[in-house]
Structure 1
């Protein structure tokens, strides 16, 4: 069982509230989403593992059980070409839960006309594999978002 924790501070709002049909329809996978606190901050690793994918706007950490967790910082933020994001690790790095991965500012994302909402997705998982999914609560980095069996 993998416990996935919040990479950022904000309000867990659930995937259905994400303003992107790919995420809201759970096409990428099940999980939840966070409406972030509007201040510059660091997005941290939601699990212990290896950074297998790393972009300014998104990263995937795979744990020892092979579970890949996608953190997507904002919606359509790939279009910002890295502006407003600072990578703090490299692809292939081993990280511990809570290690800083990307520095970003949700206010700058919104100023650029993008949504700051952040999907946190269990890649290649079924909805039945997740339990205790956080929704409708405020979270801090390290707070539990869901369990993955």
Structure 2
């Protein structure tokens, strides 16, 4: 079964190579892409239908029925903000639909705090060969296709 992963955020796609973090940029967490969001209050939404298996203010993982876990990491080094500026709209264990709002946050506040708001969207426990049609550039809206995962 193939999973289509859609963008959890609006913004400009920069690809993993554009992430200012060597672990994400080197795809050590997994393959995927990254988005530079607008500097205004926005909601991060579920990139697939599934269950939230990990939920933190700065990051969440939604696992679909194919067992594909998609990590959305809101900014880089944002764990150091200890949840400040992030509002959870869902909880670990919740079943969610693609496009459902999961976290409210303001990328401008993240940048003001000295962190990058660039947000990786990663296919956990996947190989690059399993992903297709990966978007590496251009503008997206929340819900735009980012990649397929076979």
Relative to the length of structure 2, the TM-score reads 0.99
Question: Displacement of 1:135 after TM fit?
Answer: 1.3
* Secondary structure at 1:4 match in 2: strand
* 1:74 maps to 2:65: no
Question: Displacement of 1:33 after TM fit?
Answer: 0.2
When the two structures are aligned, how many residues end up with a matched partner? 149
Alignment partner, residue 133 of structure 1: 134
* Secondary structure at 1:65 match in 2: coil
User: Distance between the aligned counterparts of 1:11 and 1:111, measured in 2?
Assistant: 19
Matches within 5 A, 1:138-149: 138-149=139-150
Matches within 5 A, 1:50-129: 50-129=51-130
Relative to the length of structure 1, the TM-score reads 0.99
Alignment partner, residue 3 of structure 1: 4
Name structure 1 gaps, 5 residues minimum: none
User: Distance between the aligned counterparts of 2:29 and 2:74, measured in 1?
Assistant: 15
Question: Structure 1, residues 52-76: CA drift from partner, whole Å, max 9, x if none?
Answer: 0000000000000000000000000
User: Distance between the aligned counterparts of 2:70 and 2:84, measured in 1?
Assistant: 23
Question: Displacement of 1:38 after TM fit?
Answer: 1.1
The runs of at least 4 consecutive aligned structure 1 residues that moved more than 4 Å come to none
Q: Please report the RMSD computed on the Cα atoms of aligned residues, expressed in angstroms.
A: 0.4
